[in-house]
Structure 1
Amino acid sequence: MSLETDTTVQMEPGTEVLHSVIRHATVGRGCRLINSVIEGHPEWPVVLGDHVTLINCHVRSTGEKNAFAFCGWEVDQRHTSLGDGVTLSHARVYNAAIGTGSTGFSTSIESSQIGPQNNLRNSSNIVCSLTSASCNLGSEVSKTLLVGEGFVSEHGSSYLSLLAPAEYPILTADGREAVLTGLPNATNIGAGTVFANYGGEPLPAPSLEQSRGSAKGTAIIYTAFVGINCRVINRYGQPEGQPSPFDLLRRRDVTMLGFGSFVENKLTGRIPAFAYAGDLSPRSHKLGWVLAKKPGILLNFIKKMQSLLGDQAGRVQELVEGTIRLECHLLQEELDGTRPTLYSREQLQEGLAILHPQLHEGRWSMDEAGNWRHAWRFDTQQQQWV
């Protein structure tokens, strides 16, 4: 063992170190550090929990500010800390906090906060981002806030720039606005998907050379399915403070994928809950399509969310029906002309003709434990859940 340290290093028993230079660090029990450079700052030391494994890792903690904020959430991670049981191989970690039990191979994490039990796949590159628990990432992730647990984007050819909330807006049975808090966000992002800032105007500056680039757009996603090779074009609204989910719903300057929506190809703007979108033109969107044609997508989302919630699975009891009520209300406002719309009258009528029966027939009703009251089954002839 070759180890160069200074007096700021604290190392607990049972730790194995090979060919490493360690400065300004605290290392827990039973760690394995192989061919690693771990250099902290006197005021911002590297902190490793117990049973951390690092192989051929480059780890630094500098105190350098590189922050991102959106909709009341902020990432401002200036030092490196790894929780108990973190395992990283061939990774670069620069001013990042990584939660208990997270794993990564050939990944780069900078100025970010990674939640517990994350799986960071080969070639993931995460910068200025925040993730919650149980996320599965293999993508380029920049200025992204995954607040809800269980987000999946495991393909290395995707680029993410988004907010995945854990708060879902609904209408209650008596017509009140309510927010379901602390729920997972089970969004699944397909391979080759890019969240892009197309057509961005240069920010104001004395000259083009001095401009900081174009405006930064950030999409908002409420547990949606995004198909392969999709282009989600972020709009450039920057909501100030801590807007509620209902405040965001009423904005026209953000890209938002509603709960249970299915999108592919290229799109922008608000995609209503349960809708299909595969084109930039809203006139091509199919409102209520997931409920009518692909309910299995929604059933799978709920199953995954309940799995993440464990013995609190009943917390999603009002999610589907409450979202249907809310979407009926929003589309009716557009049909009545009290809310701006990009949809035709026929589209709105067809969407409402799907949503209302889905609600009144009770197909999406749950008991307090989170069990479906409707006996869902897969019809092999229709190749459909009914």
Structure 2
Amino acid sequence: MVIKGAPEWRKLPSFRWRKINGEWTSTLHGRILSLRQDHLHLHYRVTWPDPPPWPLTPSALNAEVQRGDDTEDLLRRYFSLDLDLGALYEQWSRADPNFGRRAPGFTGVRILSQDAWEALLCFICSSNNNISRISQMAHKLCKHYGPLIGHVGDEALHDFPTPDSLIGKEVESHLRELGFGYRAKYIAQTARVVALEKPALWLESLRNPEHRGPRDYEVPEGPRATYKEAHEALLSLAGVGPKVADCIAQRDYKFGKSKTKTFNKALYDAIGDHFRDIWGKYAGWAHSVLFAADLREFSNRTRKTVVKAEVKTEVKVEETEDGTALDVDRAVKRRRTRQRV
């Protein structure tokens, strides 16, 4: 997901972010987030329902200020803000002349640490599909099966539905009515497997242990799945083929698998190994930069001959409504609102 400039937000596979009143807005883990960015700061506003639709995190239930701290941490993990993206671009450019030629016009592309369940369903929806239609399907899932979080203006915003909310007998037929086609069967079957057959936090347990996910604090300590184990586990789900499994493994679990067209398994694995050898542990991220460079929407973007590192952002100290200063020295700053649903 590109965060250096607003026009790119809807063009990469984020699926649920929309521009409302000049801000990029979505629901995320029981809250509404509205984001805007200047050349130094990522600004966000969080709107909580009252009461929250479910327990969010231990810290989120203690005090309003802790809620804000939880949101900042969530955003840092969601956008992988603690990684030095400029250094990664330089590494990939040194290793791959093609990357060095094409990437300078696409600085700021970031891989999201999405919720595992959301990533799974969105990529099931991606089969033989385009980004615009996948986004529409994601919004329909939220509108019809997700809890209402609140409103931005006249627009109602729902969170992403849980597996339990998609196991009803009429889910498949209803999704077909909504335009999901054959994917409706895959979604209904996968929801039943995850909700009724797999242990709690099964999807989260497949995440690469080097990268924290939104619910990692809930996963018991112990051995974690390797890339191959996570890939095979995802392939056991309805509607998940090798390419979709790799998309999920990269988008949510941060395994560095390259995404390619459909080949036999030996060739598929060989091509993935080739690009991992070139780009290293974040090969999937490097591939996503080149994916962005190939999108038609960006065909007129000026190519430059040098790679620009991202400018490190800082937070300004602002006063709260009661006149006290917010003591923060991080890369984002926040404003909080609350509304009743």
TM-score, length-normalised on structure 1? 0.22
Higher strand share: 1
TM-score under structure 2 length normalisation: 0.24
Larger helix share, 1 or 2:
2
Which structure has the higher relative contact order (CA within 8 Å, separation 6+)? 2
Greater Rg by CA? 1
